[in-house]
Amino acid sequence: MIPHLWNDLEGTFFPESALDYMPESRLREVQLQRLKAVITLSYEKVELFRERMHAKGLKPADVHTLADVSKLPFMVKTDLRDTYPYGLFAVPMSEVVRLHASSGTTGKPIVVGYTAQDMEVWKQVIMRTLYAAGYSRGDIVQNMYGYGLFTGGLGLHGGLEGIGATVIPISGGNSERQIMVMKDFGVTAICGTPSYFIHLIETAQKMGIDFKRDLKVKRGVFGAEPWTDEMRQYIESASGVKAFDIYGLSEIIGPGVGAECECQDGLHIFEDHFLAEIVDTKTLAPVPDGTEGELVITTLSKQAMPVIRYRTRDITAFETRPCSCGRTCRRIKRISRRSDDMFIIRGVNVFPSQIEVALLKTEASLPHYQIILTRKSGLDQMEVRVEITGEMLSDNVGAMEQLQKRFGKSIEQITGLHALVTLAQPGSIPRSEGKAKRLIDQRNEPN
């Protein structure tokens, strides 16, 4: 049998996905071997890493077991800024076939590079992601992630082509056209950010299009921003689209670090390429499996820009039970918050995801929202701006005030904090790359 024709066979097994089922002992061997290689490479080629190893009195030869990774220095986002643009690259530029960059909201962006082999790995992990979510050749897939410097669009694109799906590289924006294409092109699956898709569900309603009756979309891979189980329930019940979570970050490879399988019960990390640790956010020591902490990732096969112990700021925990899908690669719980998203107001820790849950408890669909923190006479104030949709609007001023009060009450029940809720006009909260900026902290700005 010719390997590249396997995809044409009936059934749900795909050769790329075989690695998801590697016996655990074999998987750990592969990880250790690759870890040693990537540490040696970084030590030789990346000055920042070499200096940090020296500062700790470490040499690559000091890593004997996977557990030894915890001795190694961490990397953080500012390291990428400080070495802008190419300071962390481990290969000559002639080997780099692709550059991506993150949208820097302040100052310079961060730049990441890929060799031809890195591109192949990226494609493979996306293919494994898509197979795990039930995508296959024959699917017509509308890719609504932004194309361009952002890793989302082109990242998914490579894997979609890899599995032989029909890709519609539509990128984000122009919601009515998105719905039109979905309908007219017979789209069966989609990729994009969950908040944008929720917006599309509402757009379709306005256009008089019933997702379940008029469209053929059956599954969606959603990521690039933290989202909650409540959002998944809403997406699935309102649109009939089975919603799978995908995890990744540009600093590591882009989307494709981990993904949900058909069980939708945590994200499998593609452990043959990424070594995951979970550490205590304060002590940075590894936490026992099942305990929440910050996810730290080491790339095991990246050539252009290997990253050792990158602090993702994403809060999660390892799932301790084996997954019923049979995959052996470990799972993390879905990430619904980031340690740097957390804010402290009047001594209380609050995550934007809590506000999201509060809003969803009040309204069936998640409205666009923004949290604005200000300080008045030394006291922190939390304002939550909520965009009104046509469905929420009532001609009765009293009913609108009631809605406002219900939002406030729900937020207070969940966070224990009083929030000033303001109702905002649709579209008045700025969006970028389909991601909404959830938190504006103006507490240290002069009034």
Question: Which residues of this protein are in contact with another protein, per CB under 8 A?
Answer: 206, 388-390, 392-397, 400-401, 422-428
Distance CA 196, CA 433 (A): 10
Question: Cβ 174 to another protein, closest distance in Å?
Answer: 13
Comparison of 276 and 371: residue with beta carbon closer to another protein = 371
Distance CA 281, CA 290 (A): 15
Question: Cβ 123 to another protein, closest distance in Å?
Answer: 38
Comparison of 155 and 367: residue with beta carbon closer to another protein = 367
What is the SS3 assignment for 418? coil
Distance CA 218, CA 225 (A): 21
Q: What letter represents residue 102's amino acid?
A: S
The answer to whether the CB of 386 falls within 8 A of the CB of 421 is: yes
Question: Cβ 367 to another protein, closest distance in Å?
Answer: 10
Distance CA 206, CA 391 (A): 9
* Geometric angle at alpha carbon 362, from 357 and 367, rounded to 5°: 70
Question: Cβ 185 to another protein, closest distance in Å?
Answer: 24
Question: Cβ 368 to another protein, closest distance in Å?
Answer: 12
Count of other CB atoms within 10 angstroms of residue 3: 7
The answer to whether the CB of 366 falls within 8 A of the CB of 356 is: yes
Question: Cβ 434 to another protein, closest distance in Å?
Answer: 17
Comparison of 340 and 383: residue with beta carbon closer to another protein = 383
In Å, the largest CA–CA distance within the chain is: 75
The answer to whether the CB of 56 falls within 8 A of the CB of 73 is: yes
Q: How far is CA 318 from the centre of its chain?
A: 16
Comparison of 32 and 386: residue with beta carbon closer to another protein = 386
Distance CA 426, CA 389 (A): 6
Token pair of 58 as six digits = 């470490």
Question: Cβ 235 to another protein, closest distance in Å?
Answer: 22
For 144-166, letters b (16+ CB in 10 Å) and e give: bbbbebbbbbbbbbbbbbbbbbb
Question: Cβ 213 to another protein, closest distance in Å?
Answer: 22
Comparison of 209 and 263: residue with beta carbon closer to another protein = 209
